[in-house]
Structure 1
Amino acid sequence: MPDLDDPKPYEIRPDPQAQTSNPDPSHNAPTNVDYEPHPASSLPISPEHQHIVDSIICLYSGSASESDMRVYASQAIYDDPWSYCDTRYKIAGQWYGIPMLMAKSQTLKTEVVDDRPDRIVFKLQQEYTPKVVKFSKSVNSLIALSLDGKGRVKYHKDMCDKDYSHEGLGKIMETLNGDHLTNITRPPDSL
């Protein structure tokens, strides 16, 4: 069991091809994955895991609420193509930014593809409508949530089209975004 205070060992790297490949190759991206959710194929999950998924979906949809943020451990990691955050407070900086930037952010559909006591992996289709330009764009992602022994999210990985590396200029930009966005979005200090 990993050290509860160190989130890095909690990173899971799901095999996108194994978890998302569509039997009909015409539905797969060039990387042989299909990140589009198919709700009818979703695995059943426990009420505790459903609460976590519901809270994460609310955050993607712009809730920016403290209660939804509490599904994260205080020393959790959020890892996506644009940011790398290593505390719940920094993660809140990302979620509190959605209502600032988006006129609307709506979850269209989800599909749970893996559910175990220590993880939840699901596909998410999210539609974003920026405030500045009023057009909507749907984005399909594979979300991997690693849970600690207390049932809190310790590592949140969002792969919107691939698993991103933690190297080079991209990693520097992700870390800078994660470290400094809270200065703009101002989440509650209680997080």
Structure 2
Amino acid sequence: MSSPSSIPPPTGTSKTHFPSDSSLPGERFEVRQTHPTGDYTPIPSKSFPLSAARQALVEDIIALYEMKPTVSRVRRYAPDCVYNDQFVYADDRYKMAGQWFALPKLFRSAESRGYQVVTNDRDLIQFRHEEAWTFKIIPKTAVINALVSLSLDPATIDSDFIRVKYHKDQANDKDYSNEGLGATFKKWQADNVVKYMDSPEVKEFEADKGSGKEPRPTYGSGGKEGDAPVKDL
């Protein structure tokens, strides 16, 4: 059990993980890590406290997971952001918007069943998250426990509206290699879904297409040898 002195203050610790230059592309803000077990079951009662601005950010992200996208919530991301999970690699805010607004076409419902903030550093918030997804066509619910990492835009860390440079969602012990057939499919999916989204909300972000991009980093492995050190969060 953590002692009171080991709990980060609501504003976060002073530890930094990423560059301080906000003009650098989102790819430069990727956290790399593996986990001893891949068990990310949240214990909400042990969640670190957050400042009002950080709490508002996490609540907006949770609302997106619950299929409640709005233009304001998608603006939580920098134009050159990256979103990386098991199924998607979206490398700008336009593609990101396409993903969030497309979810209701695939799922009947999405329920956040709890989260636990486990990292509250100067430029990184991480929380364990349990989400129940009910498919639209097949009446089946999948419950996924994952570690969500939000790399914060250094230009907005001290503002009332904090933005995200890199959003990673990991549901197992290994990190992503960002290469191979799986990675190719993830990027293809993000590149193409947005082409079929004709909603005015997604068009709000059309100017962000291709913002500040550079080649996707690859690691050869999702393990320690792929620059993903073991972290027991």
Task: Give the TM interval when normalised to the shorter protein.
Answer: 0.7 to 0.9
Residue 196 (structure 2) aligned to one of 168, 180, 184: 184
Greater Rg over alpha carbons, structure? 2
- Tell me the CA shift for residue 168 of structure 1: 1.1
Distance 2:62 2:181 in 1: 29
Residue 175 (structure 2) aligned to one of 151, 160, 163: 163
Q: Does 1:9 align with 2:20?
A: no
Tell me, yes or no, if the aligned pair for 2:98 and 2:202 is still in contact at 8 Å.
no
Query: Residue in 1 aligned with 2:165?
Result: 154
Answer 1 or 2: which has greater strand percent: 1
SS of structure 2 residue aligned to 1:96: helix
Tell me, yes or no, if the aligned pair for 1:2 and 1:10 is still in contact at 8 Å.
no
Count of matched residue positions in the alignment of Structure 1 and Structure 2: 177
Q: Which segments of 5 or more consecutive residues in structure 1 lack a partner in the other structure? A: 18-31
User: What aligned pairs does 1:20-99 form with structure 2 within 5 A after superposition?
Assistant: 32-99=37-104
- Tell me the CA shift for residue 183 of structure 1: 1.7
- Tell me the CA shift for residue 37 of structure 1: 0.6
Distance 1:131 1:138 in 2: 15
Q: Which segments of 5 or more consecutive residues in structure 2 lack a partner in the other structure? A: 1-18, 157-161, 206-233
Identity of aligned residues (%): 35
- Tell me the CA shift for residue 185 of structure 1: 3.1
Query: Residue in 2 aligned with 1:119?
Result: 124
- Tell me the CA shift for residue 100 of structure 1: 1.0
- Tell me the CA shift for residue 2 of structure 1: 4.6
Distance 1:113 1:14, change over 3 A: farther
Tell me, yes or no, if the aligned pair for 2:95 and 2:191 is still in contact at 8 Å.
yes
Tell me, yes or no, if the aligned pair for 2:48 and 2:119 is still in contact at 8 Å.
yes
Query: Residue in 2 aligned with 1:28?
Result: none
Distance 2:89 2:128 in 1: 20
Q: CA RMSD in A?
A: 1.4
Tell me, yes or no, if the aligned pair for 1:76 and 1:154 is still in contact at 8 Å.
yes
TM normalised by structure 2 equals: 0.72
Distance 1:102 1:82 in 2: 15
- Tell me the CA shift for residue 34 of structure 1: 2.0
Runs of 4+ with deviation above 6 angstroms: none
Query: What one-letter code is carried by the residue in structure 2 that aligns with 1:182?
Result: V
Query: What one-letter code is carried by the residue in structure 1 that aligns with 2:167?
Result: H
Tell me, yes or no, if the aligned pair for 2:38 and 2:171 is still in contact at 8 Å.
no
Q: Does 1:136 align with 2:141?
A: yes
- Tell me the CA shift for residue 15 of structure 1: 4.5
